[in-house]
Amino acid sequence: MVYRVEWRADKPNATMEVYSIKNPYPAEIVDVRHITKPGSAKETINVDISLGNSGLTYVTGDALGVLPNNDPALVDSLIVALGLDASEVVDAAGEQMTLREALITTYDITGLKKSTLAKWNASAGSAKLEAILVDKEQLKDFVWGRDLLDLAQDEELNPHFTIGEELVAVLPKLTARLYSIASSPAQVPGQVSLCVGAVRYKSHDRARNGVCSTFLADRLKPGDKVRVFVHSNKNFRLPEDGATPIIMVGPGTGIAPFRAFWQQRIIDRATGPMWLFFGNPYKATDGCYEDELAPLVESGALRMSVAWSRDQDHKIYVQHLMDAAGAEIWQWLEKGAAVYMCGDANRMAKDVEQTLLAIIAREGKRSPEDAVSYLADLKAQKRYQKDVY
């Protein structure tokens, strides 16, 4: 019999503090390491985090919520641009702290929501910003690649706050980011792994960094604390029967939950075959978890199809490899395989689903309408599950 393991750090009791999205646990960083090579445009890190004696539990397929800190350098620049006092004590969501600490730990200073801009402009009184706020397309273009520092450095848009309380009054709170857990609870009990792509780009003549991804990649080291909670994902679970074949489609950091899947299946001694479709730009720099995958592939425990999209003149993505292997994928489906997809919802997920439908229609000799019904049946049987964002 095959069992799936749920790890419990320490069974909660009546006196134990309960950690959640409203009360995140200050977890300790165990390790931060790059899993792509230097020069990769898809800079990817693995972060190992201890759950200590938090009482937090998770199962394979769940996500970890991370509440990040803003970049202190960005905070300092914003305070200077607004002419405020970093040491001023402000009320930050009911807690007294300095303005600088509040901007680092509590408030969103990078996301320009319409509501935030409207509150900001109540003080700035900018005709330019007012015109942008009433034009949906202008607003969309304006907010992309900008943050509050851009507004503060523009004399026309600077609200000239006199105290820090005026600033924090217009700001929304920092929100947690959810990351698919990239480890099985049975692999290293009491520890969670995340697979994170560091977001870095340039816009409006300034370097920009993803709030949470570069918080994890650049500013945390072993022993540091990060605020976390477990987010249950009951719609992304391994089959109860370990003999069920599974097909996993996860390009880029979409590989994260599948690392947890293969770890769990190996520990469970599950007999069902595993097939992973992975993709990234270049084989030379962009492999992920190669040290784990190589022996699994060599031993036959895992089948792997990899799309290195930029290693040839024409781009090759995971859906192209799936289409080429359509006859075999169809055989797996007819034998009861479950299909899992993780990654970008806007492009990859849509393309992969269309490819699946094409395979079902072509190899199963079904009409397009019947292919849609077949895929709907897979969903109903929990044999087609998505973790997309």
Distance CA 387, CA 280 (A): 18
338 neighbors 247 (Cβ within 8 angstroms): yes
Q: With the C-alpha atoms ordered 72, 76, 78, 84, is the resulting torsion angle positive or negative?
A: positive
Two tokens, residue 217: 């990649």
Domain coordinates in residue numbering, the chain? 7-68+178-231, 72-168, 246-388
247 neighbors 355 (Cβ within 8 angstroms): no
Distance CA 299, CA 293 (A): 10
The residue behind tokens 């090759």 is 316
Tell me the pLDDT of the chain (389 aa) as tens digits.
232 333 333 444 445 689 999 999 999 999 999 999 999 999 999 999 999 999 998 999 999 999 999 999 999 999 999 999 999 999 998 999 999 999 999 999 999 999 999 999 999 999 999 999 999 999 999 999 999 999 999 999 999 999 999 999 999 999 999 999 999 999 999 999 999 999 999 999 999 999 999 999 999 999 999 999 999 999 999 999 999 999 999 999 999 999 999 999 999 999 999 999 999 999 999 999 999 999 999 999 999 999 999 999 999 999 999 999 999 999 999 999 999 999 999 999 999 999 999 999 999 999 999 999 999 999 999 999 999 99
CA 372 to chain centre: 29
CATH number of 7-68+178-231: 2.40.30.10
For the CA atoms of the chain, what is the radius of gyration?
24
Distance CA 381, CA 313 (A): 40
44 neighbors 35 (Cβ within 8 angstroms): yes
Phi then psi for residue 32, to 5 deg, are -130, 120
The one-letter amino acid at 112: L
State residue 15's pLDDT score.
55
The one-letter amino acid at 178: L
Biggest CA–CA distance in the chain, Å, is 71
Cβ density class 155-188: b for 16+ within 10 Å, e for less: eebbbebeebbebbebbeebebbbbbbbbbbbbe
- Cα angle, residue 189 at apex, residues 188 and 190 outer, rounded to 5°: 115
Q: Distances in Å between the alpha carbon of 351 and those of 115, 165, 339, 344?
A: 34, 47, 15, 10
Distance CA 150, CA 53 (A): 42
State residue 16's pLDDT score.
67
Burial grade of 366 (CB within 10 A; 0-12, 13-18, 19 or more): middle
Q: What strands, in cross-sheet order, belong to the sheet with 246-249?
A: 303-308, 274-280, 246-249, 338-343, 384-388
> pTM here?
0.93
Give me the CATH topology for the region 246-388. Rossmann fold (3.40.50)
- Which CATH superfamily includes the segment(s) 72-168? NADPH-cytochrome p450 Reductase; Chain A, domain 3 (1.20.990.10)
Q: Distances in Å between the alpha carbon of 233 and those of 12, 51, 102, 213, 381?
A: 21, 18, 31, 21, 17
